[in-house]
Amino acid sequence: MLEGKSIDPATLELLEIAEAEGMPTAFSRCETIKPCPIGREGNCCKHCFMGHCRLVGKTTTGICGATLETVQARNFTRAAAAGSASHSDHGRNMAMTLIAVGEGKAPGFQVKDEKKLRRVAGYLGVPTDKRTTQEIALDVGKTALAEFGKQEGELLYLKRAPQKRQEIWRKLQIGPRGIDREVTEAMHRTTMGVDQDAEHILLQAMRVSLADGWGGSMLSTDISDILFGTPTPVMGAFNFGVLQEDQVNLVIHGHEPTLAELIVVMANDPDLLKYAESKGAKGINIVGMCCSGNELLMRHGVPMAGNFLQSDLIMASGAVEAMVVDYQCVMQGMQAAAEHYHTKVITTSPKAKITGATHIEFDDHRGIEIAKLIIRTAIDTFPNRKKVHIPNYIEPAIVGFSHEYIAYMQGGSYRESFRPLNDAIMNGRIRGLAGVAGCNNPHTMHDNAHVNIIKELIKNDVLVVTTGCAIAGGKHGMLTPEVMEFAGPGLREVCQAIGIPPVLHMGSCVDNSRILTVLSQCATEGGLGEDISDLPGVGIAPEWMSEKAKRSLE
Ligand code: MSK
């Protein structure tokens, strides 16, 4: 029954246990639910209640006369709008935390990367001369927040793209005006009886996607770096083996790094450690999952327990005291899985609850107190453990390559550059750049596409950057220096000269915006053309499932 489900032995080991113990997982549910072929192809119109109209066989229009092209374009655009809304709402939260820091109302948080704060202030037109860090932080936060509600003009970050690209966007009139405006307009244009020309609808899909990549996601990444530090390479570890048999295990899953950062700090609080000891545990072990995991991994080397399809499965280890989640890619089935064991699922976002789960709401004005309460709740759960089985698979990795670090590696602090990379592409030693991003999907073998595509790319002298749950490669040795031996001769030579591995971990799924920045910098460095589209670059999300991935690598 397990055949073809995953290439990861740790996943297969826990799947066997889950199956034997009757714990439902996404894998098991996928066996009984076959996707609706009409909906899956985007051929079902459910935007009004004359239908829903299923356009199959001889039925080529809906009751209103909408054609198949119009229906598909509407469905695609709505998915893009939802994806954009998700990443961007996360970005909004980050802006609000930065404002709270600027106002001195967020104990536990501070500006960690002042250089980045000043750089971002420059992009946003915030004055920095003779101003304190806190003053700049407040104005950067407010200007970032205003990008969401802006009604006219253009998003300020569009000017970070190559000039030629900006002109194309202007010519097509798809430069986003304000992030929220584009999401709202996408919903409006795709409702019954509004925009009914497929190509015209798809222009809005592009605009709402740009509002994410060059708006919400990019702001989110930048502000996270300002508050928590711009990543530089650190040692990390991957897979279920990062759980500790004799410690309280707390898994952080979701997307927002704010609370997660405080939990990592508070896990070393002497009183909490003593409390854990009093319950029979030898320590408090924080591990990550999915994109919150990526954030912690690349900034602190916090071990990464797994990617999306491992997130309910991990409970079958019997060793998870608390699964702490905020939002996005958090399966409701997690609660049913937790009920088979002693695990507490703790929801923390005011935007997301799960029926039956414990809700401890995060508030950045009382962050430390809430982080402590969550850890205490996890500790209280430790004595309820029954049988524990932690698969013994753990893979070391080097992670945390921000675009700033990649530029630094090519020219040092004062001459940051993309010249060596561009030269290597121009003289053919590197054949191109590939961003491998996105999720897992139980309809394809877990991790298989990610790992095999990465292997083929580097063998063919293509430099790979990877984000989100595509960090699957980390579980399979793709993020270690040893992977160099699988790289083609040209790529190997360049990576050794620059001092980077052939597969670079760049963070969470909102950090796809780092990939956009790298591509922009390569284009503006010169020699490869004047636009991102002139570069030999490709983005792929081979196991995607989320609406966020539908628009991810615009
Ligand atoms: S968590 S969007 S499964 S990458 Fe960002 Fe992973 Fe995809 Fe969610």
469 lines ligand 1 (CB under 6 A): yes
- Tell me the CATH class for 234-384: alpha beta
Adjacent-strand bridge partners of 322: 250, 344
- Please count the other Cβ atoms lying within 10 Å of the Cβ belonging to residue 481: 13
Q: What is the pLDDT of residue 416?
A: 75
290 lines ligand 1 (CB under 6 A): yes
What whole-number distance in Å separates Cα of residue 500 and Cα of residue 484? 10
Q: Please name the residue whose Cα sits nearest to atom 3 of ligand 1.
A: 439
Is a pLDDT exceeding 50 seen at residue 65?
yes
Residue with the two structure tokens 């670090």: 405
> Where are the domains positioned within the chain?
68-228, 234-384, 401-553
Average pLDDT rounded to a whole number, residues 308-328: 97
Q: What is the pLDDT of residue 2?
A: 84
pLDDT single digits (tens) 469-519: 988 999 999 999 899 999 999 999 999 999 999 999 999 999 999 999 999
Which option is the CATH number for 401-553: 3.40.50.720, 3.40.50.300, 3.40.50.2030, 3.20.20.70?
3.40.50.2030
Q: Please name the residue whose Cα sits nearest to atom 7 of ligand 1.
A: 439
Is a pLDDT exceeding 70 seen at residue 551?
no
Cβ atoms 26, 331 nearer than 8 A? yes
pLDDT single digits (tens) 219-239: 999 999 999 999 999 999 999
468 CA closest ligand 1 atom index:
4
The first and second tokens of residue 318, run together, are: 């019997």
The average confidence (pLDDT) of the chain is 95
Average pLDDT rounded to a whole number, residues 136-153: 98
Cβ neighbourhood burial of 489 (10 Å; 0-12, 13-18, 19+): exposed
Question: Quick one: which H or E segment has residue 13?
Answer: helix 9-20
- Are the folds of 234-384 and 401-553 the same? yes
442 lines ligand 1 (CB under 6 A): no
What whole-number distance in Å separates Cα of residue 155 and Cα of residue 245? 49
What whole-number distance in Å separates Cα of residue 549 and Cα of residue 554? 10
Mutate-to-test residue for ligand 1 from 224, 328, 510, 550, highest number of ligand atoms within 8 A of CB: 328
Q: How far is the CA of 513 from the centre of ligand 1 (A)?
A: 14
436 lines ligand 1 (CB under 6 A): no
**pLDDT tier at 552, thresholds 50, 70, 90:** very low
Note the helical H segments in 21-161.
26-32, 37-40, 68-102, 114-124, 133-149
The first and second tokens of residue 507, run together, are: 């963070």
Question: Quick one: which H or E segment has residue 464?
Answer: strand 462-467
Average pLDDT rounded to a whole number, residues 411-440: 89
Average pLDDT rounded to a whole number, residues 77-100: 97
Q: How far is the CA of 509 from the centre of ligand 1 (A)?
A: 6
Cβ atoms 342, 328 nearer than 8 A? no
Is a pLDDT exceeding 80 seen at residue 315?
yes
Average pLDDT rounded to a whole number, residues 200-222: 98
508 CA closest ligand 1 atom index:
5
Q: What is the pLDDT of residue 12?
A: 98
Sign of the dihedral defined by the CA atoms of residues 161, 165, 168, 169, in that order? negative
304 lines ligand 1 (CB under 6 A): no
What does DSSP assign to residue 446? B
Q: What is the largest CA-CA distance in the chain?
A: 70
Cβ atoms 209, 215 nearer than 8 A? no
Residue of 81, 180, 83 lying closest to 549 (CA atoms): 83
What does DSSP assign to residue 173? T
Average pLDDT rounded to a whole number, residues 261-285: 98
Q: How far is the CA of 291 from the centre of ligand 1 (A)?
A: 6
What whole-number distance in Å separates Cα of residue 186 and Cα of residue 182? 6
pLDDT single digits (tens) 522-543: 999 889 999 999 999 999 999 9
pLDDT single digits (tens) 337-388: 999 999 999 999 999 999 999 999 999 899 999 999 999 999 999 999 999 9
Q: What is the pLDDT of residue 413?
A: 64
Residue of 530, 519, 409 lying closest to 465 (CA atoms): 519
Is a pLDDT exceeding 70 seen at residue 414?
no
Q: What is the pLDDT of residue 554?
A: 42
What whole-number distance in Å separates Cα of residue 439 and Cα of residue 546? 7
**pLDDT tier at 3, thresholds 50, 70, 90:** confident
291 lines ligand 1 (CB under 6 A): yes
Residue of 26, 3, 1 lying closest to 307 (CA atoms): 26
Q: What is the pLDDT of residue 550?
A: 67
433 lines ligand 1 (CB under 6 A): no
Q: How far is the CA of 250 from the centre of ligand 1 (A)?
A: 20
Helix (H, G, I), strand (E, B) or coil at 481: helix
Percent of the chain with pLDDT over 70: 99
Residue of 457, 452, 467, 515 lying closest to 308 (CA atoms): 467
- Between CA 234 and CA 242, with CA 239 as vertex, the angle to 5 degrees is 75
Question: Quick one: which H or E segment has residue 506?
Answer: strand 503-507
508 lines ligand 1 (CB under 6 A): yes
- Tell me the CATH class for 68-228: mainly alpha
Is a pLDDT exceeding 90 seen at residue 430?
yes
